[in-house]
């Protein structure tokens, strides 16, 4: 199943409290439960003004539906084609 990175423009995201982030997470999980097991939230990275989320889903449309129902921005949705890390540089 494809994996995606979603860029969400959220001004002040990095200054949200633990309770605010928990509330957003609860909303996201509630919407995911209504959409079914085909879409999974893996993790998110909160920066100053953006949140980058990693999802597994069969298509971009399901991610867009999650964003719409949850009231979240989804400014960019990109399919992850490969993953690299420092071990990628090692010869096999």
Is residue 39 within 8 Å of residue 53, measured between CB atoms? no
Judged on CB neighbours under 10 Å (0-12, 13-18, 19+), 6 is: buried
Give one DSSP letter per residue of 31-65, joined into a string.
Answer: HHHHH-TT-EEEEEEE-SSEEEEEEE-S-HHHHHH
Confidence of residue 24 (pLDDT cuts 50, 70, 90): very high
Mean pLDDT to the nearest integer, 6-35: 97
State the pLDDT at residue 63: 98
Please, what are the domains in the chain?
Answer: 3-84 (3.30.70.3090)
Q: What is the model's pTM?
A: 0.92
**34-81: per-residue pLDDT in tens?**
999 999 999 999 999 999 999 999 999 999 999 999 999 999 999 999
State the pLDDT at residue 91: 80
Query: What whole-number distance in Å separates Cα of residue 48 and Cα of residue 50?
Result: 6
């Amino acid at each position: 199943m494809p994996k995606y990175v979603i860029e969400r423009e959220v001004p002040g995201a990095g200054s949200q409290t633990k309770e605010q982030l928990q509330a957003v997470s609860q909303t996201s999980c509630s919407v995911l439960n209504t959409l079914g097991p085909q879409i999974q939230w893996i993790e998110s990275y909160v920066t100053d003004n953006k949140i980058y989320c990693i999802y597994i889903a069969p298509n971009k449309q399901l991610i867009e539906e999650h964003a719409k129902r949850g009231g979240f921005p989804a400014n960019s949705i990109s399919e992850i084609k490969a993953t690299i890390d420092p071990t990628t540089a090692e010869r096999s």
